[in-house]
Structure 1
């Protein structure tokens, strides 16, 4: 009976050989193999119990004879080998099932993670890249600003030497202005380094600022009237110069360079477009004598109200330099600049009032008095970067930050309170959005620091509203409201990424 069972199991083991178990088996096959192994294990246990019972029934005398007889037959060895084979098969199947289950769990968990990671990456990759670029760009700005200032100063010196015997405007020491020289930039790859070059009247000429009230422009604008001055009493000082007022026209035309009125003015007013063309010609003629010019490939870009240069070095890096020109209002920090106004069409004889020099001095004054770990520039740069392409311009965001820098103590702009300051900026912007009013920082500001020299009418003037178009146009207000909520959604992950970058980076 027992031997028959052994033979039957041996037959099953030979005919129904187990398949290879691997990751490619489906769930139904795995279930059948588990049931097969369990049945084999139960049958094995029953068989062992029957053998033990049979052995107990026989006496010790007969046991020795039976064992001797069994050992002499091949059936005994075949049965014993098959039992060992079954034991090994059960052990192998169990180990294989355990490995398969573990690998299935790992695959399912890893697939879940793979599904979650893209969502997390989509949310944070952009924010992390912005945070890293802000850290990287603040270092690059300082180096490039120093280089640009040195090159533009050399350009002005070369121009003075070339035109020293003419009656062109006299160029003064250039002043770096704009976001780059303030320590931040809304973009990383295409930052424009702007320099304002003050101009004074040449010998025998004088500049007179005339306020122009008939132009319907959003900011104060003026015209610069050019007048000829008598130089008869200064002949020794000016050398061989002939007085434009007291010498015949034919003699002046034959023996002296033309006056500024004839070269760069329209109806006695300094013409922005003519001055710009003159600057562009200067750049083409004089740039080779500028320090470091041999290391750059220079192209003068045609613009209407400034002189734009594109510089490319040996590595292919591109730097844009914009040289603007202006006339200082008395001894103040305010200039009449060639920079564009917000008007759709600005006449060539109109020079908008510019606070660019005062704004540069404001940020440098903040940097000089702030704590070492102050992160006000990081706040400014992050706001400007997020606002790109929205209703809120970089100048609007800068105005908000300047208002807060002027009211919140500087010691509260350190890294630890970075998120709180960003909340303050968005709350201030939201308040202005509700009121449809964002006041100009320099005009009508009663809390202006004493370090800045402004015209007398600045504090008494009513501040222009930078949101005036929004207040008049409901569609613009709706667009601004939508853009504000998008800014809030983009700002939170960017703030978290930037805070992590700040925590990982050493303090300056």
Structure 2
């Protein structure tokens, strides 16, 4: 409609002009032909009519000009809207592409960049650079640290030793009863249990004390080139779960139905744990008359969690978890991680985790033999574990676990000379652990100690295939889970600020003891995306 405004306006102007011409008295006089006597009056009226026509023409021209301006504005606005739509589509596309590229770069940086192994060789230089951005936090001096360690931590060592002895003795008796009630032609052959984790590495400090025991059992796939019992020394009184004296290498259909995922030959972790719980229940019923306590399964989400409950009301908890040996090594496939602080959820019940707990315990024992007497390495881990546990009890759990803290110690044990772990260097080594942990949080990068580490001592007999594997970043979940990362960093900083108070709470007062200044990162320096 706006497009027809100009022709209509021109028509109206023409109509006014034609009307004026037709009514002009000089061009079309009246029929009588008589000239008006008062010429001046006629001229005045003509001027007035001319002025009216001029004003009308001006009004029409202004109206036409306004309509043309509005038309141009509308056309320009439509063009701008169209261009903005195109730009928006283009911007959205480039934004999406940029986000994808950024994510790929971040993941590559975490796992595949050159030199991606945890380089602790130049750690002192890196710490010095980061230290320039630190602000001071009060850390109790050596005397207070020593008093705290003696009062709060050393007293637990005897308790742990007594508990380990009691749990191991009972577990051996329980597993022996389990073997006796199992049908060897259909059920699995269970081996002796092994203690792993903080209770057997002597650094657990927080109660309740819980012993972690793993129980290897034998199993072979139907299409395997010979049963696993051919590669494992079982002993004269032990039989493979798939074989009796009269059965060949083919597993029975009963065994497959019992332990494998439906219509497959893959071991089902849930089925194995269900079988194990039933077998433990049968074994306990066989020997329960010998003991003056009750045994029960304590946690629904941890199938191997058991609890001994005495008549006095006291109880002892321990985990008994079945595992499958990886080839001829002390690496094991584990059905579930007790109180898991490790990584991801289980994709399915046919996917088993790997545990290197036996090698971790063996590495700590090996290194301890080379360190000075009363070395401070275990003390550092105990203090750090205590501080972090106390802080989490105040502000809630974070993304850090005791396994992460132990991994930090393993890296530093390999990087530091033996003499650096003398007992008088407790404060300095505790600083190192906190700095190293801060650096790993800042980079969201803490590598598993064994996977991808070509420097593992040969004395351990660690499988070479894992040394040559791609390093595993235990902090990789922080890249995608920013809320967990923020909570973890906040908890870490809060722990550092509360260190003095947490230690003094459990320390005998030492008057006039000087305090040391401990470097702690500025929260603004550690940027949280």
TM-score, length-normalised on structure 1?
A: 0.60
State the partner residue of 1:268: 265
Aligned pair in 2 of structure 1 residues 435, 242: CA closer, same or farther (>3 Å)?
closer
Matches within 5 A, 1:207-286: 241-243=246-248, 259-266=254-261, 267-286=264-283
Q: Deviations over 1:204-255 (max 9, x none)?
A: x66969xxxxxxxxxxxxxx999xxxxxxx9xxx766355859xxxxxxxxx
Matches within 5 A, 1:41-440: 132-185=151-204, 187-188=206-207, 190-201=208-219, 241-243=246-248, 259-266=254-261, 267-287=264-284, 294-301=291-298, 303=300, 306-340=303-337, 342-388=343-389, 389=392, 390-440=398-448
| 8 Å Cα contact 2:343/2:474 also seen in 1 | no
The 1:501–1:329 alpha-carbon spacing in structure 2 relative to 1, beyond 3 Å, is: farther
Cα deviation per residue 1:373-401 (whole Å; 9 max; x = unaligned)?
A: 22322221221222232332111111111
User: CA 1:412–1:290 in 2, change beyond 3 Å: closer, same or farther?
Assistant: farther
Of the three residues 477, 481, 485, the one matched with 2:489 is 481
Check 1:315–1:410 CA distance in 2 against 1; reply closer, same or farther (3 A cut).
farther
Cα distance in 1 for partners of 2:286, 2:379 equals: 37
Give 1:342 deviation, angstroms.
Answer: 3.1
Aligned to 2:29: none
Cα deviations across residues 469-502 of structure 1 (Å, max 9, x unaligned)? 2233444443333222212123345567788799
Query: Would you say the 8 A contact 1:197–1:326 is kept in 2?
Result: yes
Aligned-partner Cα distance in 1 for 2:454–2:256 = 40
4+ long deviations beyond 4 Å: 127-131, 205-209, 242-246, 288-293, 493-502
Q: Which has the higher contact order (CA 8 A, sep 6+)?
A: 2
SS in 1 for 2:459: coil
> 1:154 Cα deviation (Å)?
1.8
Aligned mates of 1:367, 1:397 — CA distance in 2? 18
Name 1:83's counterpart in structure 2.
none
Cα offset, 1:333, TM superposition: 2.2
- Partners of 2:332 and 2:423 in 1: CA distance: 35
How far, CA to CA, are the matches of 2:288 and 2:375 in structure 1?
A: 34
Structure 2: runs of 5+ lacking an equivalent: 1-143, 230-238, 393-397, 511-529
Write the mapping of 1:461-472 to structure 2, written as runs, cut at 5 A.
461-472=469-480
CA contact (8 A) 1:300 1:310 kept: yes
- RMSD, aligned CA: 3.8
Q: Which moved more, 1:292-301 or 1:394-403?
A: 292-301
Report how far residue 304 of structure 1 moved.
Answer: 5.7
Would you say the 8 A contact 2:196–2:358 is kept in 1? yes
Gap change, CA 1:491 and 1:408, over 3 Å in 2: farther
Is the 1:439–1:466 Cα contact (8 Å) retained in structure 2? yes
Whether the 8 Å CA contact 2:385–2:402 is kept in 1: the answer is yes
Counterpart of 2:295 in 1: which secondary structure? strand
- How many pairs align? 343
Alpha-carbon shift at residue 137 of structure 1 (Å): 1.7
User: TM-score w.r.t. structure 2 length?
Assistant: 0.57
CA distance in 2, matches of 1:305, 1:346: 17
